[in-house]
Amino acid sequence: MENNSLIWFIIGIFFLLSEIIMPGFIIFFFGIGGLVTASLVYLFNINSILVQLVIFIGSSVFSLIFLRNMFTKLFKGNVSGTHGLGEEFIGKRAIVINEIKPNSLSGKIEFNGTNWEADSEYFIEKDAVVEITGRKDLKLIVKPVE
């Protein structure tokens, strides 16, 4: 195969779409790298796989380092407090379905039949009853009910 630009285009689109499923806003930049590589391979008819890989890795890392902060502000909201979505949750009780550890990503609660990510400054065991005290983005902040 002489020109791999279509393959790199598909790889780029795959990574861009994968960002929807995988949190962290990092894979998106490998998608940009794939699209940059596809463009350069198409425009300059680059046949060397090694050169293509160098372009892909270089453009991915470059975009990750220099564009991540700018794109994060554009695409990822940072909403905290009790206003808007979740205001009606404050003071309500929920059940812990995955134990909650302070500053951990694994805590989950069930509230009104829906599972939510949860965080707390306390360690809270599974099946405990908690009170919702706030939120950060789509994560609910809870405390144990005494």
Domain boundaries, given as residue ranges, for the chain: 5-75, 80-144
Name every residue whose Cβ is closer than 8 Å to that of residue 110 and which is 6 or more positions away in sequence: 94, 95, 97, 116
User: Mean pLDDT score of the chain, rounded to an integer?
Assistant: 87
Q: Is the pLDDT of residue 141 over 70?
A: yes
Lowest mean pLDDT of 45-49, 88-92, 115-119, name the range: 88-92
Q: What is the pTM of this model?
A: 0.53
* pLDDT value of position 24: 74
Residue with tokens 């699209």: 35
Residue 82: predicted pLDDT? 44
Per-residue pLDDT reduced to its tens digit, 47-82: 999 999 999 999 999 999 999 888 776 665 554 444
Helix or strand (DSSP H, E) at 58: helix 49-75
**Sorting pLDDT into bands at 50, 70 and 90, what band is 2?**
low
Whole-number pLDDT of residue 93: 93
CATH 2.40.50.140 fits 80-144, yes or no: yes
Average pLDDT rounded to a whole number, residues 96-107? 89
- The pLDDT tens digits of the residues spanning 15-44 come to 999 988 887 788 999 999 999 999 999 999
Lookup result for tokens 């490998």: 30
* Residue 10, pLDDT above cutoff 60: yes
Cα torsion angle, 49, 50, 56, 57, sign: positive
pLDDT tops 60 at residue 83: no
